[in-house]
Amino acid sequence: MVARQDLTTDEDLKAQLLLVRRGTAFWSRKVNELMNDELDGPSLLPGWTRRHVIAHVGYNARALTRLVQWANTGVETPMYSSPEARNQEIAYGATLPARALRHLNDHAAVSLNVEWRDTPDEAWRHEVKTAQGRTVPATETIWMRNREVWLHAVDLDNGARFSDVPREVLTRLLTDIVGNWAAKDKDPGLRIQVTDAPELGELGAAAGQDSGTPVRGDLAAVVQWTAGRGGPRLEVGADVENPRWI
C-alpha cells in the first residue's frame, strides 16, 4: 500500500520537501505560461532552446527517481547509463511534440514526488551515487532537484529572476559553487562580498586579501553571476570573467 502523505517523520526533511515542491510548482508555472510556439525560443543556456531545458528538467526528475528507488530497494539504479545517453535523451526530448514534452515534465515530477513520499526514514540515509560519481545519502536528491527547478526556471527566460528564488536556495547554491571552484582550483583569486548577507563573510580564494579581485552585490545578483547567468546587477565585478561551475 502506498502512502498518502510523507512517510518520513523528520521535520527537517519535511521542510526540505516543502521547499522543493514549491520550486517544482514555480518551475511548472513558468513552463505553462509559455505558448507552444514559444517553446522553440532560446533559453539563457547557450545552444539550448526552451525545449532543451524542459526536456532536461523532465529527464532529471526521472533520473532522481531512479536514485530514490535505489535507496528504497537496495537495487543499484544509476541516474544515467552514460553521459552520452543523458545528452542523447535531452536531444531527443527537445524534438517531442509540445503536448508530449509537457506530459514528460509533469509526469516525471509527479513520479519523483510519489517516490519521495513513500520513502521511510531509514531509507533516506541509504547511499546512492550521482551522475558525477559522488556517493551521497538519498536526502541529497532533494537538494539536487531544488537546484534544478529553481535555476532552470530562470533559464527559461520567461520572467523568472534570481530574486524570486528563496534565500536558503540561493545561499546553498553560492556555497556549493564557490566550494566547487575551490575543489577544482578554478578560482582565480576572487573576493566575493554579499551586501545583504553579511553573515556569509567574504567568499572566494582571495577572501580577506587586498590583492584579490572584488565581486560585490546582493545575494541574488552574486548567485546569478557565480552561476554563469551574467552579472549586470553586480555593484562591482560585472566585467569579471566567471569561472566555469558545471
**What domains lie within the chain, and their CATH numbers?**
11-160 (1.20.120.450), 167-226 (no CATH)
**Confidence band (pLDDT; 50, 70, 90) for 3?**
low
- pLDDT tens for residues 64-95? 999 999 999 999 999 998 889 999 999 999 99
Quick check: 242 pLDDT over 90?
Answer: no
Q: Cα angle at 217 between 214 and 218, to 5 degrees?
A: 150
**How far apart are alpha carbons 25 and 27 in whole angstroms?**
5
Calculate the dihedral angle through the C-alpha atoms of 197, 203, 208, 212, rounding to the nearest 10 degrees.
-120
**How far apart are alpha carbons 69 and 76 in whole angstroms?**
9
User: Side-chain half-sphere of 70: how many Cα atoms within 13 Å?
Assistant: 23
Provide the whole-model pTM. 0.94
SS3 state of residue 129:
strand
Quick check: 139 pLDDT over 50?
Answer: yes
Q: What is the chain's mean pLDDT, rounded?
A: 94
**How far apart are alpha carbons 246 and 243 in whole angstroms?**
10
- For residue 129, the cross-strand partners are 135
CA-closest candidate to residue 225, choices 241, 208, 201, 246: 241
One-letter amino acid for residue 224 of the chain = Q
Residue that has been written with the C-alpha cell 543523458 in this structure: 86
Q: Estimate the share of the chain in helix, then strand, then coil, as percent rounded to the nearest 5.
A: 55, 10, 40
